[in-house]
Amino acid sequence: MASQSLGPNGGVLSRTQALSHLPQRPPVNISFQDLTYTVQDGKSSKLILRNINGEFRSGQLTAILGPSGAGKSTLLNILAGYRVVGAAGSICTNGSPRDLRQFRKLSRYIMQEDLLQPLITVQEAMAIAADLKLGSEMTTSKKRVVVDEIIQMLRLHKARETVTERLSGGERKRVSIALELLNNPPVIFLDEPTTGLDDVASSTCVSLLKRVARGGRTVICSLHTPSARLFAEFDHVYVVAAGRCAYQGSAAGVVPFLRELNLPCPKTYNPADFVIEVSSGEYGQHVERMVSAVDNGRNHRWRTFAIECAEDVIEDQDIEQLNTGNAEEQDKIYCSTAAQQFLILLRRMLLQTVRNRGYLWLRVGLHLFLGFIIGTLFDKMGYDASKTIFNFGFCYACIIVMFYIPMMPVLLAFPTEVQLVKREYFNRWYGLKPYYAALVVSRTPATIFFSLMYLCITYPMTSQPLETSRILMFATICILTALISESMGTVISSSLSVVNSVFMGPALSVPLMLLAVYGIGDGDNPSPLFWRLARACSFLRYGLEGLVSAIYGPPRNDLVCPDDVDYCEYKNVAYFVKMMGMSGVSFWLDVGVLALMLLAMNLAGYYLLRQRLSPNFAFRAIKVIGRFIKTKISVSPH
Ligand code: ADP
Ligand code: MG
């Protein structure tokens, strides 16, 4: 009986037909009591949710309505577990207190902004998500069937081959929903899924959400201003007014409810608009009465109809659950192993790198340009004994190029990437370890390639020694420096916005560059201990030392002093290296330190990203203390 529901076009679609191969999930009912949410707003704290109560049931499509700023997104964030700090009260799933870790495995949150992976088509995005979320137990052909079904269900077949950036607003929204539907989550939260969509797109979206709900899932979405027709589609309506519950019950019950409070809805008026207007105080101070009539969400009177309807569906689901009960399914956090996640993500990142043609050509052009400029500036200085100092300048220039060029694009792009990762990570697509490993591995080939391209031009142009070992040594140092810089970009931008990271990157690099050359020209006179320690922190110093020992390390003959020059002070290479304060350096030590720094930088990047996405206790404490100090400092004297 309930396994048949009316499709949006009036056609009958059976539930099994709609999503045949997906694992069945148990129904999850959510209720919350005395929920409050406080934020620190400047000097004072601000109460956003005020002791609200409510219950959302499986098999139903629930709408959270309310004027803008009422607290709809806040309520969703808290129920989904996206925000935890500052919330108080109790949230229950199926009658027992919510275990956030378990709950996160069951729920998916589709946020208001549709952040989709760039440069891949809808079909590819779905295939990648299916690989990540359906695991390897399911065969590729079965996955394809699942993807096809969802694409059909969400009417995305026309946009299949379209790259995500070119999708229309409605299509983007539907793709976001499609991606999360893949592993049949029992609870789905959506923040304003219809905002920005036209009437047709909104009603398509809502009727498919209803179909999803009828499949035994709890679907909760916040809405801004639904049309009367859209409004009637909802099984359950929850109105939020200034952080409190002003109505909870069936859509059809809104008008009788308001009439009972002496607020008759005009015949030709959209009840959704009316209830939102009333609750935003447009017709006088009635919010208080509404809130007390439903006892801030505790009163169930207006919900009777909806619950009966839901029980029907749940019974049906329970039977199905008995047939397919799979307990271990619930215990896994991710559906694919870490190695699989790594390979899938690596493939996706490499695909995106290759697709980003414009950027690749830009990098080619930039490296050619820099190569020729620097090659011309230091033309043939490699063996000229009168220009040894300038050749040292060439080494420094190489280090600066290897430092800046790989770091800047990361500073610009990674903060946006973090937002995307946040969504996918929150919705349990993959773990951060495989993600970070794939990130590092995917960008390494391009960095190595472009570093070598630059060296292929400058090294011969500046007449450096053409011995295989020296060339390899020089290239190794350059590549290590470039990789560290890239990781340093990740470290800086993993916890900052684009603007702040683009400021922080160069600001931090100035001391590093200055420390790299500190003490040069002093010969063997040791610098003060403090400065030597400070210098040891700059990886650019090891890079510079490495380059100098690569080209000047023994055994190297004296340089050639040109005929027209009377005296070449730095003809002897060992003497020059000594004057630069680098006589004791060992190439292999430098390589070792650089490799260690690369490792440390990557570990730091991973750690900061992890803290950004799921802060541990210490990190949260630091934030709270920081906020506390800020408020105390800004308190005015009176
Ligand atoms: P909406 O119902 O439009 O989704 P929100 O839940 O986003 O509203 O926000 C509810 C209210 O809480 C708004 O007035 C908003 O300004 C305020 N608010 C939300 N987060 C914060 C915060 N971190 N600091 C201060 N005010 C906040
Ligand atoms: Mg909102």
Q: What's the gap in Å between 462 CA and the centre of ligand 2?
A: 60
Residue 24 has a pLDDT of 67
Cα separation, 207 vs 216, in Å, equals 15
Interacting residues of 294 by C-beta distance below 8 A, sequence separation 6+ = 245, 246, 247, 248, 249, 302
Q: What's the gap in Å between 224 CA and the centre of ligand 2?
A: 8
Residue 434 has a pLDDT of 97
Cα separation, 77 vs 87, in Å, equals 10
The residue whose CA has the least distance to atom 23 of ligand 1 is 39
Ligand nearest to the CA of 66: 1
Atom index in ligand 1 nearest the CA of residue 191 equals: 4
Cα separation, 613 vs 18, in Å, equals 34
Q: What's the gap in Å between 499 CA and the centre of ligand 2?
A: 25
Cα separation, 157 vs 161, in Å, equals 8
Residue 136 has a pLDDT of 82
Dihedral angle computed from the Cα positions of residues 360, 365, 367 and 373, in that order, rounded to the nearest 10 degrees: -170
Q: What is the value of pTM for the model shown? A: 0.87
Residue 23 has a pLDDT of 61
Cα separation, 54 vs 625, in Å, equals 33
115 half-sphere exposure, CB direction, 13 A CA radius: 15
> Is any atom of ligand 1 closer than 6 Å to the C-beta of 243?
no
Task: Give bridge partners of residue 49 from the DSSP assignment.
Answer: 37
Angle at 342 between CA 340 and CA 344, to 5 degrees: 70
Atom index in ligand 1 nearest the CA of residue 76 equals: 6
Atom index in ligand 1 nearest the CA of residue 75 equals: 6
Residue type, 346: L
Residue type, 83: R
Q: What's the gap in Å between 199 CA and the centre of ligand 1?
A: 27
Atom index in ligand 1 nearest the CA of residue 72 equals: 2
Q: From the DSSP assignment, how many helices (H) and strands (E) are in the chain?
A: 23, 12
Domains in the chain (CATH in brackets) are 30-113+186-316 (3.40.50.300), 338-629 (no CATH)
Cα separation, 593 vs 584, in Å, equals 15
The residue whose CA has the least distance to atom 15 of ligand 1 is 69
> Is any atom of ligand 1 closer than 6 Å to the C-beta of 71?
yes
The residue whose CA has the least distance to atom 18 of ligand 1 is 48
> Is any atom of ligand 1 closer than 6 Å to the C-beta of 46?
yes
Residue 617 has a pLDDT of 79
Cα separation, 208 vs 213, in Å, equals 9
The residue whose CA has the least distance to atom 4 of ligand 1 is 73
Residue type, 61: L
Q: What's the gap in Å between 195 CA and the centre of ligand 2?
A: 10
| Mean pLDDT, contiguous 10-residue spans, the chain (638 residues) | 39 44 77 93 88 93 93 94 90 92 88 90 95 88 90 88 91 90 89 83 86 88 90 93 92 92 91 92 89 87 47 39 40 83 96 95 96 96 93 96 95 93 92 96 96 97 96 98 97 92 93 91 79 91 96 91 91 91 90 98 96 84 80 60
Terminal CA-CA length for the chain: 70
Helices of type H across 356-467: 357-377, 388-426, 432-461
H or E, element range at 276: helix 271-279
